[in-house]
Structure 1
């Protein structure tokens, strides 16, 4: 801002007054030039700052817009998931079996169990006798196997020898058949030549 000149004092002469006026005008002109330079500097500074600010604001606005879109999508997906799980819960509740039905089924099992216990209570000697007879049969079979172990070993050896003899006999028959077919081929070749 231009500076206001101090109030003029009484001037003793015209020469010094015109000189003072000239100095004041020059001072005002210099002050105006300085203000103009400062304004120009400030203008350049603000244009650089404005360009940077505009780029920053554009990036900021783009980021905010993207964040808003992402938030809207997340809200939509969240609502969809909530609705999906609400439907699943409603389906599960529809298929849910009441505890009264389970208790009714359990009472049927308890009735069956009571009937089985009544049957078993009526025939305890039969069951005890059955288990003793099974134990005796198993023990008798075990004793018989142990008593005849030598006979089993001899029988096994005899069967192995018989099987080996049959295998040897079959191999010999196969050799004889091979030799016979070779001999027949040889005689045919002699007759044809």
Structure 2
């Protein structure tokens, strides 16, 4: 085993801020306090422990009080809770009343409802037939109008052609009467 290094002995003197002087001395066994400073240290330590115990007691008391308040609040909230079973029972009662009312209405007016359904379906069928007939009539009318329009266009083309032919015939007769054209049909120039 390697030899231990020995520490140099020295004295350190510190001034205690509050009560007493501590004298620390180096020794091979460690630091030691003298008798006077030991009692001061013990009283200060005891004071610190008492303060810590008091603050811990206060902290525990505060938290116990908070827990009791939370427990009371939770119990109050639980007492105000509404049971879901109550709503379910009320819903079942309401639904059974509605079913009973519907059955009663159906018994008393079942034939009327059946007749009403038949009347409605017959009216819908008649309206559908009328609309289909109207569509057929509309298509035939459209074909007739387009046929008449085509005939009028052809008639106007023929009249235009006749008018063009008539105007060229009139010019031809004028030129014959006046003699402005030569034998080949070209216009003569006077002068």
TM-score by shorter chain over 0.5 = no
Q: What is the TM-score when the length of structure 2 is the normalising length?
A: 0.40
Using CA pairs below 8 Å that are at least 6 residues apart, which structure has the higher relative contact order? Answer: 1
Question: Greater strand share, 1 or 2?
Answer: 2
